Amino acid sequence: MTEIVPKIIIHGGAINPDSEPFLEEIKSAIFEGIKILKTGGTALDAVTESLYMLEQKPIFNAGIGAWPNLKGEVELDSIIMDGRSLKAGAIAAAKNVKSPIKLARKVMEETDHILIVGSGAEELAKAFGLFELHKIPEERLKQWQDIKRSLKEGKDVPMLNYWKKISKWASIGDTIGAVAIDKEGSIAAGTSSGGFPMKLPGRVGDVPLIGCSTYADNNAGGVSITGQGEVIMTHLLAKKIIDLMKDGYYAKFATEWMVSYINELTGGKALLAVIAIDKFGNFGSARNTDKTPHAFMDVTMDKPLFHFSKIIR
83 close to 35: Cβ distance less than 8 angstroms = no
48 as an active site residue: the answer is: no
CA separation for the pair 121, 107 (Å, rounded): 9
Query: Does 205 sit near ligand GLY (CB under 6 A)?
Result: yes
Query: Does 196 sit near ligand GLY (CB under 6 A)?
Result: yes
Q: Which residue among 226, 285, 288, 292 contacts ligand GLY (CB under 6 A)?
A: 226
**Count of residues in contact with ligand GLY, rule CB under 6 A:** 14
100 close to 94: Cβ distance less than 8 angstroms = yes
In this complex, which beta carbon is closest to ligand GLY, that of residue 194 or of residue 221?
194
Query: Does 12 sit near ligand GLY (CB under 6 A)?
Result: no
Interacting stretch for ligand GLY, rule CB under 6 A, among 32-40, 140-148, 228-236, 243-251?
228-236
Catalytic residue among 48, 175, 226, 255: 175
The CA distances from residue 284 to 43, 129, 222, 310, in Å, are 17, 36, 10, 9
Query: Does 190 sit near ligand GLY (CB under 6 A)?
Result: no
Which DSSP state fits 290? S
Query: Does 211 sit near ligand GLY (CB under 6 A)?
Result: no
Interacting stretch for ligand GLY, rule CB under 6 A, among 15-23, 133-141, 154-162, 190-198?
190-198
Query: Does 65 sit near ligand GLY (CB under 6 A)?
Result: no
CA separation for the pair 249, 220 (Å, rounded): 9
Strand partners, 180: 8, 188
Going by C-alpha positions, the residue among 302, 313, 250, 100 that lies closest to residue 190 is 100
Interacting stretch for ligand GLY, rule CB under 6 A, among 64-72, 108-116, 145-153, 201-209?
201-209
In this complex, which beta carbon is closest to ligand GLY, that of residue 227 or of residue 304?
227
Q: Which residue among 33, 100, 211, 229 contacts ligand GLY (CB under 6 A)?
A: 229
Q: Where are the alpha helices (DSSP H) in 153-212?
A: 166-170
Query: Does 207 sit near ligand GLY (CB under 6 A)?
Result: yes
Going by C-alpha positions, the residue among 309, 231, 305, 229 that lies closest to residue 267 is 231
DSSP string, 29-62: HHHHHHHHHHTT--HHHHHHHHHHHHHTSTTSSS
**Site residues for ligand GLY per CB under 6 A:** 173, 175, 193, 195-196, 205-207, 213, 226-229, 232
Residues annotated catalytic, as ranges: 175
